[in-house]
Amino acid sequence: MNTGFPKDFLWGGAISCSQADGGFLQDGKGVSTQDLRYLNPAWNRDEVEEKHHNSPFSKAEFDTALKDMGVEFYPNRRGIDFYNKYKEDIALFSEMGMNVFRTSICWSRIFPNGDDVKPNEKGLQYYRDMFAECQKKGMKVFATILHYDIPVNLVTKYGGWKNRKTIDLFVDYVKVLFENLGDLVDYWLPINEFNAGRFAPWDGVCLIPGEEENMNQAIFQCLHHQFLAHARIVKMGHEMMPDSQIGGMIARFTTYPATCKPEDALQAIHDDQYANWFYTDIMARGKYPKYMERYFDRFNIKIQMEEDDERILREGTVDYLSFSYYFSQVATSDQGWEKTAGNLIMANKNPYLETSEWGWQMDPIGLRITLNQMYDRYELPLFIAENGLGTSDVLEVDGSIHDDYRIDYLKSHIEQMKEAIIDGVEVLGYTMWGIIDIVSCGPLTMDKRYGVIYVDLDNGGLGSGNRYKKDSFYWYKHIIETNGKEL
Ligand code: BG6
């Protein structure tokens, strides 16, 4: 009888290089698109606030803070200095008993300009050392190859993902990773949250909002190029490393019809297709789904394809699927439906759900639903690559952090993951998002904290940078020790 987590279940945590590493320009790193946020005129605070409307402080407060510090402020350039502190942090992960660690590889650390002839050896050495450290501590490595940051030079020189040249440069770069890190990585994930390209164009496909004549057209053309790159990488990985596990990922926007009105039920099917299935269908089935033809016609989107593109997509299907899961939303035909914030999108509000401090709708059962829906559709193993609660925490004078709200959140989601496993879904692992506090991706602040490890840095990047264990650290340690039996 299936009673829950299999004995080889992977328990871990996830971060991304641009939000954690710091080490800006250290050891030959080039500038990435995430290093530019706030500096890039197209990515200003107002825009971020509009998208993530619950930003913790006002523009005036932010500007004063910058002035006081006398520096220009690019939070991702500092991160939490994981680049220099990774040994200390990995020791904490290991103390918790984590057996998998997910992070991303920074393209501009390996190829500072993206089109350099030779890789930066120091960048490669860093990843060899860091991944070897994980192995030494008994952790598998789950490596994201592209998590929103590409070398800026590729955007200024070639137009980023608009240009097919970027596909070749990306594939060449990944070949170097496979050659140099193939023995250290257990799970490869070429592109973080594929559908981010649609909903957060700068992060996902390096398009500058307001600078495209036909934004929709540009987005889907870029996505097509990413699909091709993705498929080529999967195929190449399988050829170079026959036992490799290479997977796809989306930000999963779990969607329910707002009512049992047939119009709402139909809307839910469409929303799911356009926001979720389109991406996983291509990565898992190797072809564009039929339902997108009508969508493309409706928005006058014409994707430029070349002769071999269909074959390339067919030949590069994934071994597993992964997703981030933070919230669910409802689909409605009512244009005036109340909205609330969500990961990458504004979501339609569900009156039955509570929201987090940042307005995201918390729905543990939605995780079980998602796992069942995805497994039913593809029958591929699933990996929960991200899930967690972003909220502010208080560091007490004695160095403790009492985050029972985070424990409640994680507990309720892990319980539902267990139910899904008992339902028959094959789940490989769970990498909690932001296992250690990092710069948040939307608002770019430190006080939207996800970690079970607290990092003493404030929104202006000031603080000791010291690490402290939150109550949730000890709780998660126990969950891992008992393989989820004592939830
Ligand atoms: C996901 C991203 O979309 O959401 C992460 O992959 C991000 O990079 C996470 O940090 C949470 O979003 P935020 O804006 O709260 O950091």
Task: Give ∠ CA 158-45-149 in degrees, rounded to 5.
Answer: 35
- What residue's CA is closest to ligand 1, atom 3? 343
Contacts with 266 (C-beta within 8 Å, 6 or more apart), sequence order: none
Q: Name the token pair of 452.
A: 């079970």
Q: Amino acid identity, residue 206?
A: C
In the prediction, which pLDDT does 247 show?
A: 98
In a domain? residue 1: no
Number of other residues whose CB lies within 10 A of the CB of residue 478: 13
In a domain? residue 5: no
What is the span of the domain harbouring residue 282? 10-481
In the prediction, which pLDDT does 290 show?
A: 98
From residue 44, give the alpha-carbon distance in Å to each of 39, 47, 160, 209.
7, 6, 20, 11
In the prediction, which pLDDT does 74 show?
A: 84
> What spacing in Å lies between the alpha carbon of 433 and ligand 1's midpoint?
8
In a domain? residue 3: no
Q: What is the CATH number of the domain that holds 394?
A: 3.20.20.80
What average pLDDT does this structure show over 422-430? 98
> Annotated catalytic sites, by residue?
193, 386
Task: Give residue for tokens 């590493």.
Answer: 21
Helix (H) or strand (E) holding 355: strand 354-355
* 181 within 8 A of 127, measured Cβ to Cβ: yes
From residue 291, give the alpha-carbon distance in Å to each of 272, 285, 355.
11, 14, 32
In a domain? residue 487: no
- What residue's CA is closest to ligand 1, atom 7? 441
pTM of the full predicted structure? 0.94
| Residue ranges around ligand 1 (CB below 6 Å) | 16, 19, 192-193, 251, 324, 343-344, 386, 390, 433, 440-442, 448
Q: Pick the atom of ligand 1 nearest to 52's CA.
A: 14
In a domain? residue 134: yes
Task: Give ∠ CA 260-266-269 in degrees, rounded to 5.
Answer: 110
Residues 336-371: tens digit of each pLDDT: 999 998 998 889 999 999 999 999 999 999 999 999
Looking at 97-101, 194-198, 340-344, 433-437, which range is the least confident one?
340-344
ipTM: 0.99
Contacts with 342 (C-beta within 8 Å, 6 or more apart), sequence order: 253, 326, 327, 329, 359, 360, 361
Q: Pick the atom of ligand 1 nearest to 433's CA.
A: 9
In a domain? residue 486: no
> What spacing in Å lies between the alpha carbon of 115 and ligand 1's midpoint?
28
In the prediction, which pLDDT does 51 show?
A: 42
Residue 46 has pLDDT above 60, yes or no: no
In the prediction, which pLDDT does 234 show?
A: 98
In a domain? residue 477: yes
Residue 373 has pLDDT above 80, yes or no: yes
> What spacing in Å lies between the alpha carbon of 478 and ligand 1's midpoint?
26
Count of domains for the chain: 1
- What residue's CA is closest to ligand 1, atom 4? 343
Q: What is the mean pLDDT of the chain?
A: 92
* 158 within 8 A of 165, measured Cβ to Cβ: yes
> What spacing in Å lies between the alpha carbon of 323 and ligand 1's midpoint?
12
> What spacing in Å lies between the alpha carbon of 259 and ligand 1's midpoint?
29
Looking at 121-130, 337-346, 428-437, which range is the least confident one?
337-346
In a domain? residue 2: no
Give the DSSP per-residue string, 357-412: TTSPEE-HHHHHHHHHHHHHHH---EEEEE----B-----TTS----HHHHHHHHH
Contacts with 31 (C-beta within 8 Å, 6 or more apart), sequence order: 25, 108, 112, 151, 152, 153
- What residue's CA is closest to ligand 1, atom 9? 441
